[in-house]
Amino acid sequence: MSTRSEQAINALKRFGELEWFKLPLEINPRYGYPQVPYMGWRFTAPEERVAELIEEVIKAPTTQVDWTFDRSRRNWVIVPTRILREAGGLADPAFSDVVHAVNTNDEDFCFQALADFELIIHHLQRITIPES
């Protein structure tokens, strides 16, 4: 059985060659609490049509929390909108502090986001990619 990271990587590789990838562990290995998922990656050759497909995937499923697909920077990111709102954006140094605060103080949100994330990955694995 593959890990969540492997599933996410394989789903993204359908859209192009990955240059970089990051996905936090589902459960904090030291303290055992659930961690809010977010995924960042960079394609070696990003394409607008791929970005549009991923955007559609993020908006398509009915999720428990709101999600944002941010591609305003070099790395593309899928993250719960709440994290971006509370952190003031991805570039804000408070981003990691907000993620930690949510991880340690809002277990229900983390479990909801983890369930949503699985749904998003499932949709990325299944979406039809049109020929170039």
- Kindly write down the DSSP assignment for every residue of 47-111, as one continuous string: -HHHHHHHHHHHHSS--SS-EEEE-SSSSEEEEEHHHHHHHTSTTSTHHHHHHHHHHHH-HHHHH
Predicted confidence at residue 1, as pLDDT, reads 45
3-state secondary structure of 73: coil
Is residue 132 included in any domain, yes or no? no
Is residue 30 included in any domain, yes or no? yes
**DSSP states of 24-49 as a string?**
--SB-TTT--B----EEEEESS--HH
Is residue 81 included in any domain, yes or no? yes
The parent domain of residue 60 ranges over: 4-126
Record the tokens describing residue 94, joined without a space. Answer: 């408070």
Is residue 96 included in any domain, yes or no? yes
Is residue 28 included in any domain, yes or no? yes
Whether the pLDDT of residue 2 is over 70: the answer is no
Contacts of 61 (CB under 8 A, 6+ apart): 116, 119, 120, 123
Is residue 131 included in any domain, yes or no? no
Q: What's phi and psi for 128, nearest 5 deg?
A: -80, 130
Least confident among 8-12, 30-34, 127-131: 127-131
Predicted confidence at residue 116, as pLDDT, reads 95
Say if CB 40 and CB 22 are below 8 A apart.
yes
Is residue 56 included in any domain, yes or no? yes
Predicted confidence at residue 89, as pLDDT, reads 86
Query: Average model confidence (pLDDT) for the chain?
Result: 92
pLDDT in tens, 61-120: 689 999 999 998 899 999 999 999 999 988 888 899 999 999 999 999 999 999 999 999
Q: What whole-number distance in Å separates Cα of residue 127 and Cα of residue 8? A: 13
Number of domains in the chain: 1
More confident residue, 62 or 55: 55
Predicted confidence at residue 115, as pLDDT, reads 95
Say if CB 40 and CB 77 are below 8 A apart.
yes
Predicted confidence at residue 21, as pLDDT, reads 95
Is residue 85 included in any domain, yes or no? yes
